[in-house]
Amino acid sequence: MSVAAAVGFLTMASNILAALLAPLLVARLYVLRRPREHAVSAGWLAGCWCRRLSVISGALDGHSGFT
């Protein structure tokens, strides 16, 4: 489960275009019922949070944050 969470985190944290996978994440949350099966989703959301902080701090410094 920790490897799956790490893969989800690194996917989102490394590339902002991974946000295009959000519809798949929503479908995954709907289909999978057990909390244990949501390790990738939790990792992806954590990566999204880190990426959001990176984009905001870059915007405040005058950089685009999309590189």
The pLDDT score that the predictor gives to residue 67 is 52
The pLDDT score that the predictor gives to residue 63 is 67
pTM for this predicted structure: 0.67
Residue boundaries of the structural domains of the chain? 2-29+37-61
pLDDT by position in tens, the chain (length 67): 889 888 888 888 887 787 788 888 888 888 888 877 888 888 888 888 888 887 777 777 776 555 5
Count of other CB atoms within 10 angstroms of residue 39: 18
The encoded tokens of residue 14 equal 């490394």
| CA 46 to chain centroid | 6
Segment holding 47, helix H or strand E:
helix 39-61
Nearest-5° Cα angle at 67, 51 to 63: 85
Reported residue count of the chain is: 67
